[in-house]
Amino acid sequence: MTIMETRKHGAADGALGGRLSRLDGTAKIKGEADYAAERDLEGLTHAVMVQSTIAAGRMTGIDTAAAEGAPGVLLVLTPDTMPDLNSPTTWLDTPGPEGPYRPLVREITYSGQHVAIVVAETFEQATAAAALVKVTYEEAPAIFSLEDPKGGEGFPIDPMTREWGDAAAALAAAPVKIEAEYKTPREYNVPIEPHGLIAKWDGDMLTLWEPSQWIDGMARTYAEWFGIPFENVRMISPYIGGGFGSKALALPHGAVGVMAAKLLGRPVKLVITRPQTFTSFGGRPCTRQRIALGATKDGRLTSIIHTSANETSIGDVAVEPLGVVTSLMYATPNLSSRQNIVAVNTVKPGALRAPGENPSAWGIESAMDELAYTLGMDPLEIRLKNYAERDQEADKPWSTRQLREAFEAGAKAFGWAKRSHAPRSMRDGKHLIGWGVGAGTYPVRRTPGEALVRILADGSAEVASSGIDMGQGTYTILAQTAAETLGIPVEQVRVKLGDSALPRAPVAGGSQLANLMTGAVYKAAVAARDELVGLAINDPNSPLRDLQANTLTVSEGRILPPRDGGDGIAIAELLRQIGRDKIEVLRNTLPEDKQSNADHYRNFSTIATMLSPTDGDYSMHSWCAHFIEVRVDEDFGTVRVSRVVSALDSGRLYNPKLAESQWKGGIIMGIGQALLEEGIVDERFARVINNNLGDYLVPTNADIPDIEVISVGIPDTHASVLGGKAVGELGIVGVAPAIANAVFHATGKRIRELPITLEKLL
Ligand code: MCN
Ligand code: MOS
């Protein structure tokens, strides 16, 4: 839809629901956006990390003499010289492990673990000297990945268990059944801006320029590591070059870099190299899921049995929740879902766009397709037949679930009715054509947020929060929220984000920030508008004096009386008249009993305050359906995605242009996951060898067709103050199985292990 059409339909660009372009876009295109590591401070020094070359064992010696004597070198820290840090609290607000925190280690548990840092006057000097650090090791056998039989079955994660009915008996009795194993490899976040920071100490005040999805959470960890008050950490992150889940937490290299700055008494810049983005933090772990489905002859599910495992690191627990979609998507009277984790010699896996939902949908959405073909049923029909009318596990109704509408709208726009059922039945020259469908979902998470709204003497307004914008659109939608609520044009609103000196905000993770921060800004803006109106009716010189507050409106920067009562007064004029330079309101969305908390920041710097999607009377989720066409070259086994139509339910959209971009971004990552992305492990060294953007393949423009996205959401005020649901991670869920299902339709080959590379099709 064009902007003109949107106008015709009511929502002006700058209002909520309008298609305003990104407010940060111009600065980024012009190169004016200042990213964290681009700052040049006086006395800036440069640091480079040294990493282990073995995956398991212990360091027997580390010789730093040559490095220390190299030109320009100022400091070398090793496990022997790195001072201990405090053990930080966890992200659930519980105490961390006992004993000190040591980010440089002698006991090696994965290849690429940090063992030393070298700081020099220039980056080149630090890089050269880092190569001179000589480490000797006593090597032990390593478990290279989840695929390594040495890892065994792992141990169960009981909170992941879901059971109802008698799944085993129902499966045994089912007239139709399928059973298969679905796998995903290690996948990496690879944001274009690598992780890095500039750290500067002034006494016990720490300033950090570091890209962050969660300023408050990271600032808290740094404060705890270094034993200083939260307020002493100033973290600045106005622009972020992508994170996809990897920039939410403070990381070991950050701890070492900040310590180096403290010891040197000079600012330190530390940017990890591209290969180090594969080992300084983890991406999505390798997963496997065994799924058994039982059904009646007419295609009604009677049982789902799901057993799964993901790899974690040695000594740490990382769970990629693999059963989350399995238990939610389809109605079944019997279900059993269990998950193990298996410790292997890898960096601790982390969050990558839709952790859990993404691989979970890969399993169940592939399995449903297999069941459809076993039954000779249309893959869309089987999904509609088993449509879950309510959340069976939580035993609650959905707040809103426009998934049926998504299936219908997507199928219609795609032309699904023209599909011929049999594999290999559609062809265009030497291309086999396949049409596949896959569904997805993402939960609505809710955590408190806080925002400051300021109306200034010139009638313009400011919005401030430590929440962040890594490209998803926060600046823009918060400006729209404030503009609409305050009744001033959007050009008159400035939004400040990404600075811990501003009011508190939760993590921009779990696709929650838009709902939470629009809610907080709305609350503060309503209070500011009320104050403004109060001034207008109380000021003796105001043309609106003594009118009822609830009869006034604010629009286009003017406070207006009821119809035909004149043109009121401009906000700027009123403030000038009464001699006020601003109206300033700070509001948060914490529950009443938490409003006066001494450690206010604690409510925003962990996820302990997060409500689950089933907290309350409803089960709240976003939903989507992807319809995808592939063309498979029979001779070469190459797969091209040639058409994507997705229909998505994220409730009300604050800015459809940006939400559509988010969905498309997720779908593009899903195409990458289906066809390209894979951390290839060298089994001999337990090391990911394609640790660069030349060898770790992500999709380019040439890999991506036009993508049509259709919004089928309706406002959901159970889910959020302004009626929106999750957007950011929804699009990636269900894409890979839709592609694998399309590949099966094209070729008759069922690929159960991602990515779908050509050798699997030949
Ligand atoms: N939006 C909307 N209407 C809604 C909800 C959202 O119009 N009802 C739009 C807004 O433009 C909003 C955006 O969608 O800014 C994302 O909102 P939301 O779903 O709340 O997600 P977050 O703001 O919490 O962003 C985090 C989310 C996550 S968890 C990952 S991972 C991810 C993603 O966003 N990483 C991204 N999108 C990304 N986009 C970019 N460019 N870069 C990343 O690293
Ligand atoms: Mo997103 S992986 O929850 O930051």
What integer pLDDT is reported at residue 10 of this predicted model?
A: 46
Q: Whose CA is nearest to atom 18 of ligand 1?
A: 511
Q: What is the DSSP string of 548-569?
A: -GGG-EEETTEEE-STTS---E
Closest atom of ligand 2 to CA, residue 510: 3
Nearest to 347 by CA among 409, 291, 279, 400: 279
User: How much distance in Å is there from the Cα of 471 to the middle of ligand 1?
Assistant: 8
Is residue 468's pLDDT more than 80? yes
Closest atom of ligand 2 to CA, residue 354: 2
Q: Enumerate domains of the chain plus CATH numbers.
A: 36-141+190-278 (3.30.365.10), 287-445+614-760 (3.30.365.10), 447-603 (3.30.365.10)
For residue 421, the SS3 value is coil
Q: How confident is the model at residue 79 (pLDDT cuts 50, 70, 90)?
A: very high
How confident is the model over 624-650, as a mean pLDDT? 98
Mutate to test the pocket of ligand 2, among 190, 729, 733 (most ligand atoms within 8 A of CB): 729
Catalytic residue among 107, 729, 753, 759: 729
Ligand 2 pocket, 355 CB below 6 A?
A: yes
Ligand 2 pocket, 662 CB below 6 A?
A: no
Nearest to 325 by CA among 271, 248, 393: 393
How confident is the model over 222-244, as a mean pLDDT? 97
Q: What is the dihedral of CA 31, 35, 40, 42, to 10 degrees?
A: 150
Q: Which amino acid is at 167?
A: A
User: How much distance in Å is there from the Cα of 99 to the middle of ligand 1?
Assistant: 37
Q: What is the DSSP letter of 207?
A: E
User: How much distance in Å is there from the Cα of 662 to the middle of ligand 1?
Assistant: 6
Q: Which two tokens stand for residue 352?
A: 């990558």
User: How much distance in Å is there from the Cα of 282 to the middle of ligand 1?
Assistant: 21
What integer pLDDT is reported at residue 8 of this predicted model?
A: 41
Q: How confident is the model at residue 620 (pLDDT cuts 50, 70, 90)?
A: very high
What integer pLDDT is reported at residue 11 of this predicted model?
A: 55
Is residue 752's pLDDT more than 80? yes
Half-sphere exposure of 137 (CA within 13 A, CB side): 21
Is residue 7's pLDDT more than 90? no
What integer pLDDT is reported at residue 6 of this predicted model?
A: 37
User: Which of the ligands is closest to the CA of residue 11?
Assistant: 1
CA angle 66/67/70 to nearest 5° reads 85
User: How much distance in Å is there from the Cα of 101 to the middle of ligand 2?
Assistant: 25
Kindly report whether the global pTM for this prediction surpasses the value 0.80: yes
User: Which of the ligands is closest to the CA of residue 246?
Assistant: 2
| % of residues, the chain, pLDDT over 70 | 98
User: How much distance in Å is there from the Cα of 644 to the middle of ligand 1?
Assistant: 21
| % of residues, the chain, pLDDT over 90 | 96
Euclidean distance between CA atoms 714 and 700, whole angstroms = 33
What integer pLDDT is reported at residue 4 of this predicted model?
A: 38
State pLDDT tens for residues 101-160: 999 999 999 999 999 999 999 999 999 999 999 999 999 999 999 999 999 999 999 999
CA distances from 751 to 170, 439, 581, 758, 760 (A): 27, 18, 65, 11, 7
Strands 427-428 and 431-443: antiparallel
Ligand 2 pocket, 282 CB below 6 A?
A: no
Q: How many CB atoms lie within 10 A of CB 422?
A: 10
Is residue 489's pLDDT more than 80? yes
How confident is the model over 706-726, as a mean pLDDT? 97
User: How much distance in Å is there from the Cα of 191 to the middle of ligand 2?
Assistant: 13
Q: Is 320 one of the catalytic residues?
A: no
Q: Whose CA is nearest to atom 23 of ligand 1?
A: 513
Ligand 2 pocket, 353 CB below 6 A?
A: yes
CA 511 to chain centre: 6
Closest atom of ligand 1 to CA, residue 353: 31
Q: How confident is the model at residue 563 (pLDDT cuts 50, 70, 90)?
A: confident
Closest atom of ligand 2 to CA, residue 353: 2
What integer pLDDT is reported at residue 598 of this predicted model?
A: 73
Mutate to test the pocket of ligand 1, among 13, 247, 465, 727 (most ligand atoms within 8 A of CB): 727
User: Which of the ligands is closest to the CA of residue 508?
Assistant: 1
Q: Do 486 and 461 touch, CB atoms closer than 8 A?
A: yes
CA angle 364/367/371 to nearest 5° reads 135
Q: What is the dihedral of CA 608, 610, 616, 620, to 10 degrees?
A: -150
CA angle 463/466/472 to nearest 5° reads 85
What integer pLDDT is reported at residue 2 of this predicted model?
A: 36
Residues with CB under 6 A from ligand 1: 242-245, 353, 470-474, 477, 508-515, 650-655, 658-659, 662, 665, 724-729
Q: How confident is the model at residue 689 (pLDDT cuts 50, 70, 90)?
A: very high
Q: How many CB atoms lie within 10 A of CB 576?
A: 14
Q: How confident is the model at residue 667 (pLDDT cuts 50, 70, 90)?
A: very high
How confident is the model over 155-182, as a mean pLDDT? 98
Contacts of residue 569, defined as CB under 8 A and 6 or more positions apart, other chains included, come to 536, 542, 543, 544, 558, 559, 577
Ligand 2 pocket, 187 CB below 6 A?
A: no
User: Which of the ligands is closest to the CA of residue 465?
Assistant: 1
Q: Which amino acid is at 281?
A: F
Residue scoring higher pLDDT (387 or 6): 387
Ligand 2 pocket, 248 CB below 6 A?
A: yes
How confident is the model over 153-182, as a mean pLDDT? 98
CA distances from 244 to 510, 662, 675 (A): 10, 12, 19
Query: Predicted ipTM?
Result: 1.00
Q: How confident is the model at residue 521 (pLDDT cuts 50, 70, 90)?
A: very high
